Structure 1
Amino acid sequence: MNFIGTLILILTATTIAGHFSARLGVPAVIGELLVGIVIGPGVLNWVQSSTTLTQFAELGVILLMFMAGLESDIGQLRRYLRPALAVAMCGVILPVVLMGATSLLFGYGWSEALFIGVVFSATSVSISVVVLREFNALDTQEGATILGAAVADDIIGVLLLSLMVAVLGGSASHGPSTNLGLQLVFQAAFFVAVYLLVRWVAPLLTRISERLLIPTARTVTAIVICLAMAYLAELVGLSGAIGAFFAGIAVAQTSVKKVIDEHVEPISNAFFVPVFFVSIGLSVDFTNFVASLPFILLMTALAVLTKWVGGQFGAQVTGFNRDSGRVVGTGMVARGEMALITAQIGFNAHLLAKPMYVDMIFVIVLATLVAPLLLRWSLSKQRVAATKSE
């Protein structure tokens, strides 16, 4: 099927699946993920991953995180930096230790076990963002902590990944260099660029765009800022989604925020974001599923619990109550694109054998399917508790 036909199928199927998901009271992202599994190699094999589809999916997650940044309160992010760091650290340590140790029990070597732990230390907050936006919770203390923790999580995960590839002698690279010291310098420079963007560059560019005699000048300028920051983030070894998130924060401090929100959100949610979620489902392959089922189920349970418990513990020790801590913990469960990218790098660097790589994809997808349901449940539970206390 050519790409246009594939796109028609994806958009039609995700729209229908989203409708029925809403009727059942579950997040639309669940329906979109299941569409990817059904139409992909796992079931019907109508759609296979391709370079063009992957690029569309990358644009989807970039635009999704840009919108998250646009709707985030920078004051809230600063205010909850301490709990965000605590949540990130706890959410990295538990998966690395427990999931790595469990892999050893299944007969995998030390290097494979450690790398499996690193894969599941990643968090894909883009999936949680969909649910947080549904509940208008992005600018709450929980939303700010989840977003801040995801940024720290991404940095820690990239450092662990770089260290493993460098120490174990893999052939893959991520960013400009596998040298850890040099990569740290590049990443520090990136965050300096983020500060300059928020403080001076974005306001200047948006003022210029308002003087241009083109109706779409402000929207185009904002998208260019978004894509440029995503590109820079990837150059220094971070996720492009993180760069897009900071771009959204920068644009949110300007006078064009409302216009950009109205122009970018409809096209991203209708066109690019569904492709991103479908692309995750396309990674599923049931060839050796039965033989690997015990390992997959146990690792999925650990993938969910280690992030949930780690995130909730980190939130509660920094002052959150139990309900808020539960929201933060469940908001950190999703793995999505960051774990998939990390697993792919490990596979290319010969740190993971093919069967193990396929099993990791299953666990990532299953944990990602469960994550929005858990977050939606914890947000609903929090609202019920808040209503009773009034």
Structure 2
Amino acid sequence: MASAADHASFLPPVLTFLSAAVIGVPIFRLLGQSAVLGYLVAGVVIGPSGLSLITEAETARSVSELGVVLLLFIVGLELELSRLISMRRDILGLGTLQLALCAVALGGLAMLGGLSMAAATVVGIALALSATAVALQLLEERRDLGAPYGQRAFAILLFQDLSVVAILALLPLLASTGTTSGGNWLGEALQATGSAVAAVVAAVLVGRYGLNPFFRMLAASGAREVMTAAALLVVLGTALIMEHVGLSMAMGAFLAGLLLAESNFRHQLEADIEPFRGMLLGLFFMSVGMSIDLALVREHWLALSAATVSAILLKTAIVVGLFRLFGSPWIDALRGAAVLAPAGEFAFVLLPVGGELGIVDGNAGRLAIALAALTMLIGPLAAKGLDALLATRRTSALEPAYDVIESAEARVLVIGFGRFGQILNQVLLAQGVSVTVIDKDVEQIRSAARFGFRVYYGDGTRLDVLRAAGGARAELVCICIDDPEETLKIIDLVHAEFPSARTYVRVYDRVQAIEAMNRDVDYLMRETVESALAFGRATLEALGVPAAEAAGVADDVRKRDVARLVLQQAGDPLDRADPVRSLVRIKPEPLITPVRSSRALTAETQDIIAKERPAPPEPARTDGAAADKARAEAVRADEIRPEPVADDA
């Protein structure tokens, strides 16, 4: 049995890490620097080259890599599969070009420094890879992971993780003579690739069909801690399997998150994982700082300084050029290149493996590892300096930063200046109503100048921006943005923080309308309802129907549609975690019983109609106040049957 002294021996390192984080990070944040830099410097101070409070940097890094694993899991949770598919051009095209060009350029510099071609290749690839943890942390701090340049940067990082298997398979080939073991290398590479593909397919199948039932069973037990344990089990288990077949643990965790992105338990899992992710990621950054050999840096300070600056500038120049080639504006290209400039975590894997295989000699390997660590230390500083420079330029170019709002006394706060918001503002300003408009699309802000409107650059999903925009004093908050999730988030923020403000909301379809009704908004309009009704009324008039009768028909359809919407809200609740299933359940149905059945002109059409014709619908179950409300609306709309309906309106 372990003694009390054995247990106590674990406490000093833990307390040292916690103290370094608590002291170092706030200091750098007060100085306006990134938290990443605070962790890195704290690691240098407590590591073997500093105060030697922690002497085993490798052990700390092996544990702290779990922080990167959990970070990628949360990123996967927030990324829909459809968006990942839409990024395939950036992942395969931009990712391949970035890795290849940076590896060739940096390898060329290494050869100029006296390394052999094989050693220069390993060093070039190791430095061409970017620091996933640093880049994602910087993007999170900027709140730009969802921005176009953030998505492109993430696509490159994802491709780099996918390429690790091929890179690790390449190293034995570089170590061989190229004649005696080529066939054996090819067989091993094919076997490793097959194992990786099989593991990914197995993970996809288990995640698709097994995880939701698994979490539902655990949730039924009511034990919160079991759900947390299950979340960690899924993440770490998938990461371990992927590492076993040659992929990175981070790639496995990302895959697990992606598989759970549409799960009913997505938000619960994110909340359970977040505390572990933050602490372990900080430990990872400190372990990188601990790996910097200050004695080696002092001995070769001039060469390492020049190499660090050259590597960062070279990677930045290449990535800027590629971003521009793929359509990014200059500012986005610079910001994306800045977060990708530091060398990556895999440099601490590839370079030691290259040393074990005899490709990179000991002294060159140590210098390359020190160079990689220095780029991770200097990179966040360069990114922060670039942010400050761009912020100054943006302000001077009449492109204000978030939160810079001159007047917050308007009666109406409008969020979104797209095609819907523009017409709304025309009406309000024609009546002389004071309006504050915010939008996070720079192009919309530029176009507002032609209207004579003052539109502020702000993100409506941020509480601090809403406060600065006068949300607490506004009589009405009009939400006119396209993104359904962001719309619902803004509704929740306004109701929680500004209860006196009324919420008027533009929604896209019936599913989002019911979501907004469940949040008790004061007024909502589906995007195409009124325009479609007006179009239908004009069509009837063109067919000879009197204007008054056509208006009555349109009004009748409007009432019936509203009644059905209320009945749908009061009936079977929507599956908010899976809107696709909700859309399948809410199918288009006629508001008025057709006078005759549909008939097919061909046998193929008849087969389609037969497959699509549903069984008679069951009455919607309503009870309590919701049922009374639904019945009242139904009476006003003349005997409406509670049939489900969905349309683009």
Using the size of structure 2 for normalisation, the TM-score is 0.55
Cross-structure match for 1:341: 349
In structure 2, relative to structure 1, the CA distance for the partners of 1:103 and 1:16 (3 Å cut) is same
Structure 1: how far apart are the matches of 2:154 and 2:203?
Answer: 16
Structure 1: how far apart are the matches of 2:59 and 2:187?
Answer: 27
Q: Unaligned stretches of 5+ in structure 1?
A: 171-176
1:59 maps onto 2:66 in alignment:
yes
- Contact 2:236 / 2:253 at 8 angstroms: preserved in 1? yes
Cross-structure match for 1:354: 362
- Contact 1:99 / 1:299 at 8 angstroms: preserved in 2? no
Give the deviation of 1:12 after TM superposition.
Answer: 1.0
More helix by share: 1
1:216 maps onto 2:225 in alignment:
yes
Structure 1: how far apart are the matches of 2:24 and 2:357?
Answer: 37
Letter in 2 for 1:342: L
Q: Indicate the larger mover: 230-239 or 75-84.
A: 75-84
Structure 1: how far apart are the matches of 2:190 and 2:130?
Answer: 24
Structure 2: how far apart are the matches of 1:107 and 1:268?
Answer: 41
Cross-structure match for 1:20: 27
Give the deviation of 1:26 after TM superposition.
Answer: 0.8
Structure 1: how far apart are the matches of 2:308 and 2:199?
Answer: 34
Q: How does 1:68-217 map to 2 (within 5 A)?
A: 68-169=75-176, 179-217=188-226
CA RMSD of aligned residues (A): 2.6
Letter in 1 for 2:205: L
In structure 2, relative to structure 1, the CA distance for the partners of 1:191 and 1:267 (3 Å cut) is closer
- Contact 1:33 / 1:369 at 8 angstroms: preserved in 2? yes
**Which deviations, in whole Å up to 9, do the C-alpha atoms of 1:350-370 show, x marking residues without a partner?**
222221121112111111122
Letter in 1 for 2:263: T
* Structure possessing the higher radius of gyration over alpha carbons: 2
Give the deviation of 1:109 after TM superposition.
Answer: 1.7
Structure 2: how far apart are the matches of 1:387 and 1:229?
Answer: 44
Cross-structure match for 1:249: 258
- Contact 1:230 / 1:241 at 8 angstroms: preserved in 2? yes
Structure 1: how far apart are the matches of 2:157 and 2:281?
Answer: 19
Letter in 2 for 1:263: D
Structure 1: how far apart are the matches of 2:102 and 2:147?
Answer: 26
In structure 2, relative to structure 1, the CA distance for the partners of 1:181 and 1:302 (3 Å cut) is farther
Cross-structure match for 2:276: 267
1:387 maps onto 2:399 in alignment:
yes
Structure 1: how far apart are the matches of 2:349 and 2:9?
Answer: 25
In structure 2, relative to structure 1, the CA distance for the partners of 1:51 and 1:325 (3 Å cut) is closer
**Which deviations, in whole Å up to 9, do the C-alpha atoms of 1:26-48 show, x marking residues without a partner?**
11110111111111112222212
Structure 1: how far apart are the matches of 2:152 and 2:58?
Answer: 34
SS class of match (2:345)? helix
- Contact 1:90 / 1:313 at 8 angstroms: preserved in 2? no
Letter in 2 for 1:209: L
- Contact 1:100 / 1:113 at 8 angstroms: preserved in 2? yes
Letter in 1 for 2:213: L
- Contact 2:39 / 2:285 at 8 angstroms: preserved in 1? yes
Structure 2: how far apart are the matches of 1:217 and 1:2?
Answer: 29
| One of 233, 243, 256 as aligned partner of 1:234 | 243
In structure 2, relative to structure 1, the CA distance for the partners of 1:52 and 1:286 (3 Å cut) is closer
**Which deviations, in whole Å up to 9, do the C-alpha atoms of 1:9-33 show, x marking residues without a partner?**
1111112111011101111110111
- Contact 1:118 / 1:161 at 8 angstroms: preserved in 2? no
- Contact 2:132 / 2:345 at 8 angstroms: preserved in 1? no
Structure 2: how far apart are the matches of 1:141 and 1:306?
Answer: 23
Using the size of structure 1 for normalisation, the TM-score is 0.89
Determine which structure has greater relative contact order: mean sequence separation of CA pairs < 8 Å that are 6+ residues apart, divided by chain length. Answer: 1
1:298 maps onto 2:306 in alignment:
yes
More strand by share: 2
- Contact 1:85 / 1:152 at 8 angstroms: preserved in 2? yes
- Contact 1:96 / 1:121 at 8 angstroms: preserved in 2? yes
Cross-structure match for 2:374: 366
- Contact 1:323 / 1:381 at 8 angstroms: preserved in 2? no
Structure 2: how far apart are the matches of 1:335 and 1:290?
Answer: 21
- Contact 2:40 / 2:285 at 8 angstroms: preserved in 1? yes
Letter in 2 for 1:222: A
Letter in 2 for 1:97: V
- Contact 2:57 / 2:287 at 8 angstroms: preserved in 1? no
Q: Indicate the larger mover: 286-295 or 97-106.
A: 286-295
Cross-structure match for 2:296: 288
Cross-structure match for 1:173: none
Structure 1: how far apart are the matches of 2:90 and 2:295?
Answer: 42
Structure 1: how far apart are the matches of 2:294 and 2:59?
Answer: 24
Aligned length: 383
- Contact 2:61 / 2:287 at 8 angstroms: preserved in 1? yes
